[in-house]
Structure formats: C-alpha cells, structure tokens
Amino acid sequence: MKKHFNPIKDKSADIIEYLMSSPDMPQDEALRFKIHLSIEEAVENVVRYAYEDGIGWMEAGTDLEDGGLTLSIEIKDAGTPFNPLAREDPDITASAEERKIGGLGIFLCKKLMDEIKYEYREGCNILTMKKKLS
C-alpha cells in the first residue's frame, strides 16, 4: 500500500494518518504507539527539511514481510540528499543545556524500530523502517 503526496507542505498529519490507517498496522496498542512515533518523526523531517522551499513530493507506504510477521514502512522523497542515520547518536546522559540540538527524533526511531535503513537511489532519499509484529 503506497500513496504519492504532492505537495507535502502542511500535509504531515494527512501522511501520518494514511500510514497509521494501513490494514498492515498491528492492533496491539503498544506496538502502534512505537510505530506512530517513528512515522511521525520520519514524516516531519521530510516535510520540514527535504525541500528548500517546502514544496515537494513524498511517497509513503507499508507492507508486510516474513509471512506477515514484520511491518515495513517506506518513505521516499526527491529532496536534498540526507542520510539521517549518518549522524552520531546524541549523548542522552548530558544535560539539555550541554546537548547538541537535533538528532533526538532519529535516535528515538532507532530505539523504537527493529531496523532502519537509508539509501539514496535514482535521485531519491528512501528511508525504510521495520518492526517485528510478534
């Protein structure tokens, strides 16, 4: 299940709702909470930062893998190439005043999801997040 959104400016809520309403989503509330937070962070990053003028497109979708045991979420855009996984994880032991700005959202995604992969292919950023459902 994939959908193309164009433009994406001011469409974060619609994109997140589309992904969360997928029939691939688990019913378990604890899993849904983790998935929702990760989707929200990934979508917001693209909507806010991928395109210089804020106008651009995104393709988002879900799929079940491993015989329905793993949820895969893919977010694709043609914005500025950016690998969010290349950033060093923030030092969460440091005080808020000492900590560098940014990076907490992707760090959270890494902790909540079982696998996150980034690739830049054919002029597009592709972020894939996977969560085991059992």
pLDDT tens column, 25-56? 999 999 999 999 999 999 999 999 999 887 99
47-62 residues labelled b (16+ CB within 10 A) or e (exposed): beebbeeeebbbbbbb
What DSSP state is assigned to residue 96? Answer: T
How many structural domains is the chain composed of? 1
Looking at residue 64, which CATH number applies to its domain? Answer: 3.30.565.10
Q: Is the dihedral of CA 41, 43, 48, 49 positive or negative?
A: positive
pLDDT confidence of residue 131? 98
**Between 77 and 108, residue with greater pLDDT:** 77
pLDDT confidence of residue 76? 98
pLDDT confidence of residue 103? 55
Interatomic CA distance for residues 32 and 24, integer angstroms: 11
Residues spanned by the domain of 109 = 2-132
